[in-house]
Structure 1
């Protein structure tokens, strides 16, 4: 049974890792600008993936079309999408940013239907709807700590929408590259990360120097960033690429968007109060996940 659902299980595992890492990234974002944070985590993850490939001595299939699609996917999803996501986190906070992030799965479903001819069954459609409803129900709960600056909220809204569209586009491009070739998820991860890092370096080179950047980096900060990059970028993106190879883009992207559900147990463990509304949202989302699996 597990072999039949390896794409779905990989997507859920990716969501779990991203949930844990998001807590750390919210804190790191207070010390580093989004572009710097994205650039640093990407560089660390590329080194990790490269070492893994050297140890495995895994050859890559030379398929120029697939490599081009993966490179464009990395530019969209990692270069643009992640930077916009971190910018939205700074403007809106995690709750609203995650809420707007639930737009990515339906966007991916529509794009996959238009460009890849990938439809979803009625049962899967119900599952996607329930998962997204449950996630939205959890993270749309009113919070006292919402930003009061309307211009900041508007900027955050723009960043969050760009992030959702970029991540959806990146997922569909990866699916197109992986579904019908023997390019492995690990090589796909390296190509996407490298392309995303290249566009970030270009943006870094063109922008004015950041005076606080060098001061912000300390040994402790690099250690925290390294551990977080290992789980959120190295492992999570590897798992995400695995999910896109073995599951339809809409389903993979939906299950990857369940990170907020995994944040709740962390909140309870950290002594935070979790409302009945949040628990109900989790139940709805889990019912949706069951529709996608059984």
Structure 2
């Protein structure tokens, strides 16, 4: 499968999982929710890696790099993202996290020597612009859903979202050279997830109050967290690593940023109301940009 298609599938996974994640993340708290999600994802990924034998592709140097990537991208990045979502909701946190495409394009150019030119550059601009337009102008003026409320200072929420985007970019792009060596994507995801889970467990063991769950984990929240882990982390992150191995890192990051566009029809199902005109315009631009890149 083409790396561009893998990136789009990963974006779809993240869009779907955000609907599973919003409720449990608010009830459990960002740290507790992330910890449970990583536990479920680690179990799934290691079961797949052991069945497929992909763990044999990992050596000591690969594990060290994967560990660092896991701490930056999953332990810090994912936790900060859900802290942002708890403050701003999935729509506005989505537009902030979508900036990881811009961060990735700059980092890929500076450190990997990748440059996006021609039709791909125009398509990338349309796609990123469409994502921003769809989310910034994607709210109806009379929308009062709980996910649209701001909890706490707005500036802190914005800072958390941008920090999550930067962590995602750095943690993914640093693995580009490693993935081109033929490392198994499932085993690589399992290693990253396990290290992030270990970091979360140590944080909880330290006694810091912020790492504790706000409420006990209910059966419903456990199921939703498991679904989020399976779709976003076990499948989505593995698809991104596979795309990174086969394709240009900057373009993979740009295409994976369409998840906020893909979440619009899903939020429509939750809200039972049509997205605003700006959301439709942004979606059209994103589709045109994606078509130019894939062409």
> CA-atom RMSD, angstroms?
2.1
Structure 1 partner of 2:136: 140
In the alignment, the residues of structure 1 paired with residue 131 and residue 80 of structure 2 have an alpha-carbon distance, to the nearest angstrom, of 21
Aligned twin of 1:52: 48
Aligned pairs for 1:115-126 within 5 A: 115-126=111-122
Q: Where do 1:176-187 residues align within 5 Å?
A: 176-179=177-180, 181-187=181-187
**TM (normalized to structure 1)?**
0.90
C-alpha separation in 2, matches of 1:208 and 1:126: 47
1:14 alignment partner in structure 2 = 10
| Secondary structure of 2:158 counterpart | helix
Distance 1:23 1:63 in 2: 36
Which stretch shifts more, 130-139 or 198-207?
198-207
Q: Which runs of 5+ in 2 are unaligned?
A: none
Deviations 1:152-196 (A, max 9, x none): 2111112111101101101111223212x1101111111111122
8 Å contact kept, 1:19–1:262: yes
Instruction: Give the Cα separation in 2 of the matches to 1:167 and 1:31.
Output: 24
Deviations 1:27-67 (A, max 9, x none): 11221110111111001111011111222233422444433
Q: Identify the residue that residue 176 of structure 2 maps to in structure 1.
A: 175
Structure 2 residue 29 is matched with structure 1 residue 26 = no
Q: Report how many aligned residue pairs link the two structures.
A: 288
Over 3 Å counting, the alpha-carbon distance change for 1:212 and 1:173 in structure 2 is closer
Whole-Å separation in 2 of the counterparts to 1:127 and 1:24: 31
How does 1:81-230 map onto structure 2 within 5 Å? 81-141=77-137, 143=139, 144=143, 147=149, 152-179=153-180, 181-209=181-209, 213=213, 215-230=215-230
Deviations 1:229-276 (A, max 9, x none): 111111111111111111112111111111111112223444221223
TM-score, normalised to structure 2, is 0.90
| Deviation for aligned residue 1:211 | 10
2:250 aligns with: 250
Alignment of 1:278 with 2:274, yes or no, is: no
Per-residue deviation, 1:142:
6.3
Q: SS where residue 10 of structure 2 aligns? A: helix
Q: What is the rounded CA distance, in whole Å, between the counterparts of 1:27 and 1:175 in structure 2? A: 33
Contact 1:189 1:237 in 2 (8 A): yes
Comparing 167-176 and 55-64, the one that deviates more: 55-64
Residue 147 of structure 1 contacts residue 153 of structure 1 at CA under 8 Å; is this kept in 2?
no
| Deviation of 1:210 (Å) | 6.5
Gaps (5+ residues) in structure 1? none
CA contact (8 A) 1:41 1:229 kept: yes
Shift of 1:22: 0.5
Asked if the contact 1:65/1:177 (under 8 Å) is kept, the reply is: no
Q: Name the CA distance, whole Å, in 2 between partners of 1:38 and 1:99.
A: 20
CA pair 34-268 structure 1, distance change in 2 beyond 3 A? closer
User: Secondary structure in 1 aligned to 2:159?
Assistant: helix
Q: Take 2:234 and 2:39, find their aligned partners in 1: how far apart are those partners?
A: 10
SS of structure 1 residue aligned to 2:192 = helix
CA contact (8 A) 2:88 2:157 kept: yes
